[in-house]
Amino acid sequence: MDTTIAAIATAMSESGIGIIRISGKEAMDVISRIYRSKGGKKKIKEVPSHTIHYGYIYDKEEVIDEVLVMIMKAPRTFTGEDTVEIDCHGGVYAMNRVLETVLKNGAQIAEPGEFTKRAFLNGRIDLSQAEAVIDVIQAKNEYALKSSMNQLRGSVLKAIKGIREEIIYHIAYIESALDDPEHISVDGYGETLGKAVQKQKEQIKRLLAKSSEGKMIREGIKTVILGKPNAGKSSLLNMLIGENKAIVTNIAGTTRDILEEYITLEGISLKLIDTAGIRSTEDIVEQIGVGKARETAKDADLILYVVDSSMPLDENDEDIMKMLEDKKCIVLYNKTDLKAAISQEQIRESIKHPVIPISAKEETGMEELGKQIKNMFFSGEISFNDEVYITNARHKAALEEALSSLELVENSIEMGMPEDFYSIDLMNAYESLGKILGESLGEDLVNEIFSKFCTGK
C-alpha cells in the first residue's frame, strides 16, 4: 500500500486506444517526470483534479507517444489514492513502451486485481462489490451483467448490512444486561429474541433461495443434449451456436465425444453439451462415448431430449426416458419437416416433460424453447428491481453458516439456556455474514480472491 503501482488496463491487442493506469502516493510525481504538454507551460502536478490534458510521454528526451492524461486526486478515485490514466495509442508495442517509461520513473508493476484490492482495503468498496467487478468483466449475457451491476451498486451489501444491524443490536443488549443486571433486565427476552431470529432466518433463506438462480445467471445452465443416434442432436447444436461445429452425417454413431459450447437464448446463458447417441452397440469407442453421455447427464441442470419424429420409439428411447425421470428436461420433437411416425400426443403419454416441436434443419421452434427454459428455471421472469441474486459460492457458504448459527440460538431459547449462549451464536452469525463483506477474512483468502482478476483492474 506504500508503493505506487501501474499496469496496462486495456486488452493487449491492436486497438484505437490503450490505457495505462497509475495509482499511489507518488502517482503525480511519476507522471510529472514523463509528461510534457504541447505548449509546455503548465506543470501536470499543478492542474486541478479530474481534468484531462493533451501532450506527450517522454523517456528522457525521446518522444514515446502522443497522449491524453487524466488526473484524479485522492480521495475521489476508484482506489482512494492519487490516480493517473494515460490514454495512448492502442498498439501493443506502444502501450508497453509507455508502461516501461512509467515503471522506470518510480512505479511498480501492479499485481492481478491490485487496483480493486486497494479500493477494498481503502474502504471505497466492500468485498462483495469488489467481486462484482470481475463478474461484470466476465458477464456472458444481459442478466449476468445486470446482476453484477446490482451487486457493484451495493445490493448484496445493503441486504447483508441490514441483517447484521439487527443481530448486533441484540448482541449489544444481551452483553449490556449481563454487565449491568441491576438496570437492564433480560427477563422474558428469549421470546423477543426468538421473533427477531425468525425474521433474520427468513431473510437469509430468501437470499439462499435465489442462489441457484444466481449461479445459473452467472455461469449458465449446464444443458446436455441427449437422444438416439441420428435424432438431430448435432444439427441442433450447430443451429444454436450458428456454425458447423459438430460433424453431421447420416451414419449412426458419428458423434463419439463430448462437445461444449456457450450460447445465449432469451438472454440466458446455456452451456451446451452435445453427446454420443444413446444405443446398445458393439463398437468399443462408441461404448465409451455413450458412457460419457450417461455420466454427463447425471450432473446436468437441464436435458434437451431430441426425438426423431420420423422414426418410431424403441428400446433406446425407453432407456433414455428412464434416465430423465428425476431431471429437468425438455423434449424436442425434431424433424417436423418430415412425415411423422409418432405424434406429439404419444410422446406426452410416454414422458411427463414439456414437448416442443422443432426442426433443426429449418431452424424453427427456438423461441418457444427459450421461453420454456425461462419458465422452468426463473418462473418466466428475471427481475432486478427488488431481488438480490446470490451468484457467488463463497457468499452462499457464509449465508449457510449464519443460518446454522441462528438455528442454534433458537435451540438455546427453547431449552431455556443462559443468555450468554444466545450471544455466542449470534456473534457467530454476525461474523459469518461479515465474511461476505470482507470484514473477517484472512489475508491469504483475500489475496486468492484478487488473484483471479486481470492485472490492470
pLDDT digits (tens, 9 = 90+) for 121-161: 999 999 999 988 888 888 877 778 888 888 888 899 999 99
pLDDT (0 to 100) of residue 255: 47
pLDDT (0 to 100) of residue 247: 44
Neighbours of 362 (CB within 10 A): 11
Q: How many Å apart are CA 41 and CA 382, to the nearest integer? A: 55
Please list the ranges in the chain whose pLDDT falls under 70. 40-42, 243-258, 280-283, 286, 379-386
pLDDT (0 to 100) of residue 385: 55
Q: Which three cell numbers stand for residue 126?
A: 466492500
pLDDT (0 to 100) of residue 6: 97
Q: Which three cell numbers stand for residue 254?
A: 458419428
Catalogue all structural domains in the chain, each as residue range(s) with its CATH number: 5-110 (3.30.1360.120), 130-210+390-451 (1.20.120.430), 217-378 (3.40.50.300)
Q: How many Å apart are CA 347 and CA 180, to the nearest integer? A: 73
pLDDT (0 to 100) of residue 119: 93
pLDDT (0 to 100) of residue 92: 93
Which among 400, 410, 423, 401 has a CA at the least distance from the CA of 195? 410
What is the signed CA dihedral for 264, 268, 271, 277, rounded to 10 degrees? -80
